[in-house]
Structure 1
Amino acid sequence: MYPLVAAGIPASGVVEVPCYAAASFNGRTAVLRPEVRRVPLDFASLSERDVELMVSVRAEEWVLRGLVAVDVDWLVGVLEVVSSGPQPRPLGVEVDDVWFFVAPLHSVPTVVGGRYVAVGLYR
């Protein structure tokens, strides 16, 4: 995980975000394991709205704690699972045995490294 808090989001610059893959998914929470690969995230690619969402407190208690990159096809698939049904749920992930609510950073998904999207980890 690339540690980051709302107060530390730069206006520009590129960081290397570690890639993670799902080891399991129970329909609600995915257990993520690190891959060897890292992908670039250019903070200048985030819109003002993207940054507003990153720094806001979600659901009155969830704040940004870090970033990871996940496979875009996997993310789309699991977001469909958690958003379908009578009561849509947020997507949860476990990274290093810690649970996080996860959301894409870009309101218009931006694929980097050919197949990854950066997501924020909130807790």
Structure 2
Amino acid sequence: MSVELNHTIVESADPDGGAAFLAEVLGLPAPFHFGPFTVVEVAHGTSLDFMTVADPHSQHYAFLVSDDEFPVIADRLRAKGVPTFADPGHRRPGENTNDGGRGAYFDSPEGHNLEILTRPYGSGG
């Protein structure tokens, strides 16, 4: 049996704004509306469904990207003035080289701790 994540709910005070930020930064197709959600589609049919919540709880969302996509995304973040960090606690500015790849953490407009990484955890041998 194969199990895949199909979708997850992302709490946001501004679902359209949060979804647009994520889609733009990651270079994904424009979000669309489905019922009460603003939907961002990522690979393998998975989506992040942004839902209106007055006081969103901060969550962590990590995105595996290619070596070629990483610097493009990092440039988009810099152009938007969004700082990146090498660690999830946002104590070290910049990026990391965990598992022989590259990784960076940054905040979404609603305060979620987002991450881009080029190698899955533990894949560096």
- Global fold match (TM > 0.5): no
- Taking structure 2 as the reference length, the TM-score comes to 0.27
Normalized per residue, the structure richer in strand is 1
Larger radius of gyration: 2
- Taking structure 1 as the reference length, the TM-score comes to 0.28
Asked which structure has the greater RCO (Cα within 8 Å, sep 6+), the reply is 1
